[in-house]
Structure 1
Amino acid sequence: MKPLLPRRQVRELTRLRTWWFWLAGWVGLAVLAFVNGTVRVVVYQDLVGETAARQIATNLLIIMIGVYTVVLHRRCPLPDTRAALAVGMAWTALTLAFEFGVGHYVFGTAWAALLADYDLVQGRLWILVPIATLLAPALVRAGRRNRRPEGR
């Protein structure tokens, strides 16, 4: 029996499905970041101070990004490093666009205040979040690929 679609079209549809799955996965990242920031403000910021609380929240979010990316990769593995890097770039672009767009145009936060979160000299570690977001898909894909049993 002849297949309904040629293999090339099946591969393209699979790649497209994978791309949309991972692009939609960014919404989960946004939810994690929102919950993380809310917990920071409500639970421990008054106890440890704003700078320490932001540092703790940044590290927690980086861990959450890694775990979340592993979960997504188990559900829909990225086919190659190029796709993983493309997903990381898309996630990072969406994250920065959301952060600066909503921060400035919705909440009215000044550009200088938004950029202050990226000032390592002042103890702000937030720059590590976009870096983690960029690299997480490729690092998880590389790590998961290296864990495959022999013969696969």
Structure 2
Amino acid sequence: MYSEMTSKALAVWIGILMLAVLNGLLREAILVPNLGAVAGQLLSGIVLSVLILVVAWFSLPWLGAQHTAQLFAIGLGWLALTLVFEFSFGLWQGKSWQTLFDAYRFRDGNIWPVVLAVTAMAPYCAARLRNRHPTDSA
């Protein structure tokens, strides 16, 4: 069932996607050249994780999620959309599966798996940070 909350969550994810693209541009243009590959990758992952949490925090009232299940559904939806986008875009660029899976290894400052975990948990964490205690029922 397609609901208003689903369309709002998709809109928020598109905003997160735009921030992720800008973060990648910042990483490649400024962070890596000035800090080196490892520090640039690490800082970029931290910045993106914080941005995702900030977006979740600000968008939470608009999303209208009140229950733990809704918060986790939104986060897991954002995670699924991110994975589909990453793999689709990578394959469209002609990257190999091995290259795509390399992004999921903690190597050379890469913390992409942490960013994905933050993405999945962001709505729930934002609710907790807002001192909202989501209910367990949907």
Report the TM-score, using the length of structure 1 for normalisation.
Answer: 0.80
Does structure 1 residue 92 correspond to structure 2 residue 50?
no
User: Counterpart in 2 of 1:73?
Assistant: 60
For 1:122 and 1:49, the matched residues in 2 are separated by: 10
Q: CA deviation at 1:32?
A: 0.6
User: Counterpart in 2 of 1:5?
Assistant: none
Q: Which has the larger radius of gyration?
A: 1
The C-alpha deviation readout for 1:85-122, integer Å capped at 9, x for no partner, is: 00011100000110011112x11111111211221255
User: Counterpart in 1 of 2:102?
Assistant: 116
The C-alpha deviation readout for 1:58-89, integer Å capped at 9, x for no partner, is: 00000000101111013333121100100011
SS for the counterpart of 1:71 is: helix
The C-alpha deviation readout for 1:16-56, integer Å capped at 9, x for no partner, is: 22222112211011001000000111112112222221111
The gaps in structure 1 that reach 5 residues or longer are 1-11, 148-152
* Amino acid of the structure 2 residue aligned with 1:51: V
* Amino acid of the structure 1 residue aligned with 2:120: L
User: Counterpart in 1 of 2:3?
Assistant: 16
Q: Assess if the C-alpha contact under 8 Å between 1:45 and 1:53 holds in 2.
A: yes
Q: Assess if the C-alpha contact under 8 Å between 2:75 and 2:122 holds in 1.
A: yes
Could you tell which deviates more after superposition, 116-125 or 27-36? 116-125
Q: Moved runs in structure 1, 4+ residues, more than 6 A?
A: none
Does structure 1 residue 59 correspond to structure 2 residue 46?
yes
Q: Assess if the C-alpha contact under 8 Å between 1:91 and 1:134 holds in 2.
A: yes
Q: Assess if the C-alpha contact under 8 Å between 2:56 and 2:123 holds in 1.
A: yes
| 1:43–1:122 Cα change, 3 Å | closer
For 1:76 and 1:96, the matched residues in 2 are separated by: 22
Q: Assess if the C-alpha contact under 8 Å between 2:37 and 2:109 holds in 1.
A: no
Report the TM-score, using the length of structure 2 for normalisation.
Answer: 0.87
Q: Assess if the C-alpha contact under 8 Å between 1:78 and 1:84 holds in 2.
A: yes
Aligned length: 133
2:37 to 31, 50, 63: 50
